[in-house]
Each structure stands twice: as structure tokens, then as C-alpha cells.
Structure 1
Amino acid sequence: MGRTRAQEAFKPGTEGQFSENDPALALTLARGLMVLKCFDLRNSSLGNKELVEMTGLSKAAVSRMTYTLTQFGFLRYSPSMRRYSLGLSLLTTAYPLLAGLRIRQIARPLMQQMANEIGGVVSMGMQLGRKMVYIESCVSAKSVSPVVAGIGSTIPIFPTAMGRAYLCGLSSIERKELLDTIAPEWDESDNKYLAQVTQALEQYDRWGFCLAKPNLVQETRSVGVAVKGLVDDQHYAFNCGMPIARLKQGQIESDIGPRLFELVRNVELLLGVR
């Protein structure tokens, strides 16, 4: 008989969180994944000593993890630098995920068309913990936007147009469940997140889209729209970023937002979303 998993184990927002006392947890695997998650754009190469400090694991445990991950191609070792970096097995593992997202294949031509028409960047993402992960991004050849997020890059949920739109696209029950998980006490009157969520919902009710937190990125303004309902058991949200230098007064609300809204509705029609 298999081990019983806690009911909360698969709740949105709990990704990356675990307890070593969880009887259903493969602890060695969890520790190996902790090591992998230490690598990012700022930490593209790390030595065992740094990984010990970042994970809190013992030297022996980290040494076993890096050796095993290297054997499977998830890490690469540089003898000259005596440091590790991410390996190609991660890329080959991620490819079936991206290739299997039906919405990417359907939305991309529409996203590229809009990006070309407005000279901006149109992107799509999914929620992971407290962040949104970019799964597609289309940029115009004439775009001068200082922010072009690559596939796999992440942004925070609360201040960004995509993250706010994602929250607005959830049902009230789904939204509360996620917020209770990623930001406990978010709905208390003095909590900074309550005002942000309230503002996003007001904008979404009024326009069908919402804006990023003011001055989030000095040179760019962005707008977000969520896909209605589930697509292959997942929620999605889109955003569009425009350099301020190319925007006219009020254009983000009167033109860019409605364009993105229409794009997302067309994607829904093509997907058969009700």
C-alpha cells in the first residue's frame, strides 16, 4: 500500500515547499532538486562550498548530489574552475513540456502579429509558487523595449501585469486558496498585498485587463489579461510590455489593453474554451 500524501501536497503555491518529516517524500530526490534550484542567472556556476551554504546540507550530502546530477547530465563540472553549472539534460527534460503546451502553438502567431503591429513584447506565462514563469514571448524586430523576458524566466505575481491578471482570472475560491498559501494574512487591512489585489480586481472588472504596479519598470508600461478557465488543467495569463517612449498619453488603457484582451479572447475561441 502506498504512502498517504497530505491533501495540501498538490495545492497551487506550495511548489518547492516540503517537510523532511513528510512520510511520502523522497528525501534524497528533494535534496538533489534543492541543489539544482540554487542555479540561476546570478549564480550560473557554483562550487560545493557555495552549495553547502545555500542549501544548508552537509558537505558529504552536497558532494553526493553534485556527483550524481553530473552523472545524469543535469550538471556540468569544470575541472579548471572546480565549479558546476547546469547541464543539457535539463533542456532535453524541459522540451517535451514546452512542446506539449497546446496553447503555445495556437497563441504564438497571434502574439507575434500583435508584437509586430505595436512594436512591443507580448508574452504568456504560468504560475509557480509566488512567481509567474514565461512560457512564450514574442518581440517585434523594431522593438526597443529594455525588458524582453526569455522562456523560463520568472517575475513576481503581485506587482506585475501578468501576475495580477492571473489572480484576476481565477475564481474567488481559487484566488483565495492561492493567496492564503503564498501570502498568509494577505487580506488583513494593513497587509500590503491587499491593496494590490484590490486594485487589480477593480481594473479587471472595469476594463477586462489590469496594469502593472506603477513605476515597476521605469522605461516600460505593461498590461495583463488572463485566459478564462482551464486549458489542459492549467491557468494562463498574457502580458504586453511597451517602452514609454513609444506610448501616447493613455494609449496603454485605450489601445494596448483592448488589443491584448481581443488577442486572448481569440486564443480562447481557437482552443474551444467556454
Structure 2
Amino acid sequence: MPQAFATGREPQRGRAGTLPDLIEGEDGDRQFVTALARGLQVLRAFRDATEMLGNREIAERTGLPKPTVSRLTHTLLTLGYLVHGDDGERYGLGPAVLALSAAFLRQNSFPQMAKPYLQDLATAVQAHVALGLLDGLHSVYIQLWRGVGQTITLSREVGFHLPLARSAMGMATLAGMDEEQRAPLLARLRAESGADWPRLDETIARCTAEVAEQGFCIGLGIWHPEINAVAAPVHSPGARGLFAINISGPAFLMTETALRAEIGPKLMATIDRMRALGIVD
């Protein structure tokens, strides 16, 4: 049986997961429906499809008052976007959310076309391979593969969010943008990071240079001290959104030498295979 690799307490998502981040353009916009934004933010509070949350936890993650959260969860429960847990007090994502996800994937054929190549990559490197998509100040896993025969696994699933400025996947996503796309995100990250910005800015610059030079960047413990990763941005013709491919695993296995000399080049070879077939630009 594969061994689960426990990573301890999950790093905080910070203000990127709160309501003000989602509705920052509300003021003066007469077309903006605040109630709808708040309902969607409740759904965004769930970090993966298996998580069960109570109203108090949702309020903490969204920054919304608990009475408001109670009304929103009741409405979303009635509409099928949430379901009750066994205790009748906590909520999980409902089938209506799955229907939206399925519709998105039908409109974006790239994840399905990339599936066999990324599964082969996961088996070749014996590590987690994730396909992520930009979501606000995060990258969200939309597909995840584990290597056939992999003995050590990380407890992450589809829907998991990684902070944009504190993960290899996020850094690769930023590096894959043009200046017009990147500038407003960097401004938001700078405002959110405060005194930590100079260090993050240095990491972003390093990763951007690595992607420009070799197509991928590495993250040594930047999301979690016990996890290393390598990631690369990918563009698919006609696809909606900006994708990145991430390979991650325990730091004692995925050393800097292995990432730079073996795993990163295998990632780029997989991307080249897909490029030769027109799957990516």
C-alpha cells in the first residue's frame, strides 16, 4: 500500500481566501451582485471535495459574519450546491458543484488530452503530477496523477489550492504571463505580503528567470518545508485560462539536484511530446 506523507499543519491561505479579495471591485459597480459574490465565496472556502465545514469554520475562512454564512449555507443546501454531513451540522460540496466542474472540463479539452502524458510522467518520476489553473491569487489543482507503483503519496486532491507566491506552481504560472497579465497580480501580492514582499519578490524573479532559461522553475520548501517541487507553465491552443504542471514530493527524495538534473528535464520532455502533437503551444 502507498505510504501517506503527512505534512503537518497546512500553511495559511491568508487574505487571498477572504471576501474582500473576491469583491475588491464592488465599490461603484452597479452591476455587481454582492449576495451572489458572498454565496460563491462560501463555496470557495472548501479546499477539496472531501472537506466538511461548519458555519463557524466557513465564517473564519471567508471573513463573513456567521449569521450571513448560516443564511448562505441554507440557500446553497436547498439548491444542491452543499450537502449535509452525517452529523447534520457540517457541510460538504454538493452535486450541483460537480455539474459546474464537468461543464468547465467539457469546454476545456486540454486536461483530457494531456491526461495520458501526465500519467506517464507521474509513473516515470514516481511522484505527484498536478495540472493547475490560475484562480485569483492561487493555483487550483484541476487534475492530479500519482505514479503507478508509487509508495509515498501526499494527501492532496483535485480542488486543492496553492498560494500563487508561495508555491512552484504559482511561480511558474506568474512566469508564464505577459507583463500586462502579471502586473496587477504582483500589485495585489505586494499589498498582501507586507514586510515579506522583498523575499517573495526575489523568489518570483528567480523563478521567472529559470522558466525563461530552461522552461521550468523549482521550489525548495517554499510552500512547505518538507516538500519540494518543480513546475512549468503551459499554453494550450483554444483553452481557457493559464495552466501550469507541477511535480511535487518529499524533500528527502526530490532534492535540488534531482529536480534540476532529472525531474525538471523529464517534465520538459513531456511538454515537448505534447507540443509536437499540437496539444500545447
Q: Find the counterpart in structure 2 of residue 202 from structure 1.
A: 209
Instruction: State the distance in 2 between where 1:199 and 1:185 align.
Output: 20
Q: Which runs of 5+ in 2 are unaligned?
A: 1-19
SS in 1 for 2:30: coil
Instruction: State the distance in 2 between where 1:70 and 1:185 align.
Output: 32
Instruction: State the distance in 2 between where 1:83 and 1:229 align.
Output: 39
- Whether contact under 8 Å (1:139, 1:148) holds in the other structure is no
Alignment CA distance shift 1:20-1:116 (3 Å): same
Alignment CA distance shift 1:144-1:161 (3 Å): farther
Q: 1:226 Cα shift?
A: 0.9
* Identical-pair percentage: 24
Alignment CA distance shift 1:56-1:121 (3 Å): closer
Indicate which of 147, 157, 163 corresponds to 2:154: 147
Alignment CA distance shift 1:194-1:66 (3 Å): closer
Could you give the per-residue CA deviations for residues 210-267 of structure 1, whole angstroms, max 9, x where no partner exists? 1014464444421111114764242111111244454577221111101101212332
Alignment of 1:89-100 (within 5 A): 89-100=96-107
Q: Find the counterpart in structure 2 of residue 163 from structure 1.
A: 170
- Whether contact under 8 Å (1:238, 1:264) holds in the other structure is no
Instruction: State the distance in 2 between where 1:218 and 1:74 align.
Output: 35
Q: Which stretch shifts more, 256-265 or 16-25? A: 16-25
Q: Which runs of 5+ in 1 are unaligned?
A: 1-13
- Whether contact under 8 Å (1:169, 1:229) holds in the other structure is no
SS in 2 for 1:194: helix
Could you give the per-residue CA deviations for residues 6-49 of structure 1, whole angstroms, max 9, x where no partner exists? xxxxxxxx9722426531112322232233334446972314x6
Instruction: State the distance in 2 between where 1:40 and 1:272 align.
Output: 29
- Whether contact under 8 Å (1:159, 1:213) holds in the other structure is no
Q: Find the counterpart in structure 1 of residue 80 from structure 2.
A: 73
How many residues are paired up? 259
Q: Find the counterpart in structure 1 of residue 265 from structure 2.
A: 258
Indicate which of 7, 16, 22 corresponds to 1:16: 22
Indicate which of 125, 138, 142 corresponds to 1:131: 138
TM-score (norm 2): 0.77
TM-score (norm 1): 0.79
Alignment CA distance shift 1:24-1:81 (3 Å): same
Q: Find the counterpart in structure 2 of residue 44 from structure 1.
A: 52
Determine whether 1:33 maps to 2:40.
yes
Q: 1:269 Cα shift?
A: 3.5
Indicate which of 222, 225, 239 corresponds to 1:232: 239
Greater relative contact order (CA < 8 Å, ≥ 6 in sequence):
2
Alignment CA distance shift 1:135-1:190 (3 Å): closer
